[in-house]
Chains A and B, each alone.
Chain A
Amino acid sequence: MATKAPSPQADRSPIVAGLLSLILPGLGQVYGRQQYRGGVIFISELLAVLTAVWYKVPAWYAAPAIIWIWNVWDAVGAARGRLRSTLLPIAAALIMGYGIGWQITNIDLPALTRNSHRAAMILAPMLRPDFLSQVEVTNTAWAPVEVPCGPNPPASTNTINGITVTISPNCGKLNDALTLQASGLWPNTETLIQWSTPIGDRLPLGKGFITALYVPADAQGNLNVVIHVSPNALTAAPDPTLPLEHRVYLTQSHPQAAMQLSKNGAYVVDGIIQTLFLAFMSTTLGALLAVPFSFLAARNLMGGNPLTLSVYFIVRTILNILRSIEPLIIAIIFVVIVGLGPFAGMIAITLHTIAALGKLYSEVIEGIDPGPLEAIRATGGNWLQMVRYAVIPQIVPPFASFTLFRWDINVRTSTIIGFVGGGGIGFYLYQWIIKGDFRAVSSSFIAIAIIVIILDYVSARVRSRLV
């Protein structure tokens, strides 16, 4: 309470003051010449009552009741020229605040341990980040099957890479048994057998159709096994009665003593590069556009006459509003306008950067020392020389420092801007989270952390030299 209360005078009736405060909290204090105190008490009591009513928990009526009683006692004190300690009502309000806060945030500490199996499901794969994979040499072939049976099923024997695959019968409905025969495979090697729908979805054929089916080829490279049409084979079919060609794939692989970027690892690298350049472009663009705005938002330049002053207020207001909206929300709007992808993210971050840097730059401009400007004019320098030798040296290092810091922030922002479709690593990350591919999630976490730590360090080092 910054306002200084006028010193109390003991010239009011304590009984009247007490009664007034009993009827309306704060009124007795106003009567006792403590208008400000009375106002604060009235508003506090009102808020306490409204909160208790809104949350409908009877126990919470204790807090407004305590404040009400205290307020009567305080009004009597004020009338006698004494100010009472505010400890009790503040404590009552705080206890109520934390109690309701606890309920609203649904604090449920046992939940942290209750679902340990779920935690294990996520954390175990996260310990094996999907970034590198072993190089493998593969041997693969397939044969067609028609589901359901039509009038002219395709020839069910197919030879690829010297491997001949035959399926009989060559058509069937869901769960039908089919005999699969193959020759020309690598001998004595495990062979992965998968169902492939017409749109290319690979379905497992093992136990319960959820585990992968591996069958070894014999010493001659032959294989003979009964498989069943996957019950999920028609999930994506537009018309389940229409006969379509499905395939059964056989894949053998030999791991080599070499590592390569895995498929998801390549996506991580791609996403990180996209994120870095997204941040780089939007910081540069934002910084360039922020410069003219910052001059318009600098009071020492715009305070001269009413017209420029009104421009100053308008620009300031626009920057303030723009800055208060999260880039994530701006991105949602631009995803609708320009479509999914990094461009929408770039626009969102650029707008936010203009607002944030515009304000910081304008404060730099407001803070420049006018002395050197005067000194350069006094030597006979012209206006441009004054800007070059007195203004630029004063503003460029802080501008550069703020810009670098902004790039740092923008990299962080652009890692999540993809969650709403704004491109970058977040775009992949979001899909991996939905798919439950926590190995890929883990590798993108690590990649983001490394990039952010490096940038943090570099920008701090460079900034310490600039300032």
Chain B
Amino acid sequence: MLKVEHLTKVYPNGTVALKDVSFTVNDGEFLVIIGLSGSGKSTLLRCINRLIDPTEGRILLDDADVTKASSGDLRQLRRHIGMVFQQFNLVKRSSVMTNVLSGRLGYVNPFLSLAGIWSRADRDRALKALDRVGIKDKAYERADALSGGQQQRVGIARTLMQEPRLILADEPVASLDPVLSHSILQYLEQLNKEGITVLCSLHFLDLVHRYATRVIALKDGVKVFEGLPKEINRAKFKEIYGEEAQEVRATTVEEG
């Protein structure tokens, strides 16, 4: 469904974040991107929905060229691409409900949304999304009153409002403790099984083994590995993360 061709991103200060990266994501995959901090994972994910404009290369989403889309077309494309962030990116002072509803902004009448008016159907949809992530009872609390794990679940509920076909998850569990990491990734896994393609960057290798259907590794903006999780052996690990690297496990608790 997603085809990335020769993607290169050079920032104005000269930093080369991505260098000639190409890969394909098939429908229904849970593709994980690994690599050190600064290897270009976030830049890659943000190029896909053009929060960052790539310097060169093409991104095709079901044959629609994201890189050439006009701003109106781009908003149409973004509606179907959900995004989950490391820092959750919620408006902390707003209610959980408002944060979730904001996921629907691409669909609704812009004038009504500016006035803060939401249809009954959208409100019901938001409550249903919160119910799915198990925090319906928190709907009218302020977002910053929630714990980190709960905030990330609000983030997932917000993407659900988009009725996404693809979810981009940028280090969704890096700010959470190991047990919460599993619960968040299990929500993503569940959505993936229901047919939503997931493209996710992760730090911990044991999480990669547990959730990924396929893996891409980036090093200094270059794709250095593409394959199945089990193919990442000790030698590959050293190649991706460098000679001094030691594997740190997110958790030894295996959940089923």
Contact = CB atoms under 8 A, between A and B. Distances in A.
B105 A381 contact: yes
B106 A374 contact: no
Given A384-B114, A385-B105, A371 B85 contact: yes
Contacts of A381: 75, 102, 105-106
Contacts of B155: 375
B157 interface: no
A389 B113 CA distance: 9
Contact of A375 (B79, B83, B114, B116): B83
Interface stretch (A58-66, A158-166, A390-398): A390-398
B78 interface: yes
A372 interface: yes
Given A382-B110, A385-B113, A376 B51 contact: no
Contacts of A388: 113-114, 116
B8 interface: no
A378 interface: yes
A377 interface: yes
Given A379-B78, A379-B103, A372 B89 contact: yes
A374 B89 contact: yes
Nearest to B74: A380
B91 A389 contact: yes
Contacts of B49: 378
Nearest to B72: A382
B51 A379 contact: no
B51 A380 contact: no
A369 B143 CA distance: 14
B81 interface: yes
A370 to B, nearest CB: 9
B78 A385 contact: no
A403 B90 CA distance: 25
A379 B107 CA distance: 9
Interface in B96-125: 98, 102-107, 110, 113-114, 116
B122 to A, nearest CB: 13
A377 B81 CA distance: 11
B58 interface: no
B87 interface: yes
A397 B83 CA distance: 27
Contacts of A379: 78-79, 82-83, 102-106, 158-159, 161-162
| Binding site secondary structure of chain A | helix
Interface in A359-373: 369, 371-372
B190 interface: no
Contacts of B81: 378
A388 B101 CA distance: 13
A65 B24 CA distance: 83
A378 B105 contact: no
Contact of B75 (A374, A380, A390): A380
A385 B114 contact: yes
Given A382-B110, A388-B113, A389-B98, A377 B78 contact: yes
A318 B114 CA distance: 34
A433 to B, nearest CB: 47
B93 interface: yes
A372 B114 CA distance: 16
Contacts of A375: 83, 85, 89-90, 102, 155, 158
Nearest to A380: B106
Nearest to B115: A388
Nearest to B155: A375
B26 interface: no
A114 to B, nearest CB: 59
B196 to A, nearest CB: 15
B249 to A, nearest CB: 28
Contact of A376 (B82, B92, B102, B159): B102
B93 A394 contact: yes
Nearest to A371: B89
B76 A394 contact: no
B88 interface: yes
Interface of B: 49, 51, 75-79, 81-83, 85, 87-94, 98, 102-107, 110, 113-114, 116, 155, 158-159, 161-162, 168
Interface of A: 369, 371-372, 374-382, 384-385, 388-390, 393-394, 397
Given A379-B83, A379-B161, A380-B76, 8 more contacts: A375-B155, A377-B78, A379-B78, A380-B77, A381-B102, A385-B113, A393-B93, A394-B93
Nearest 6 A-B pairs (CB), nearest first? A380-B106, A371-B89, A381-B105, A380-B78, A375-B89, A380-B79
24 contacts: A369-B89, A371-B85, A371-B89, A371-B90, A375-B102, A375-B155, A376-B105, A378-B82, A379-B82, A379-B83, A379-B103, A379-B104, A379-B162, A380-B77, A380-B79, A380-B105, A381-B102, A384-B114, A385-B113, A385-B114, A388-B114, A388-B116, A389-B98, A394-B93
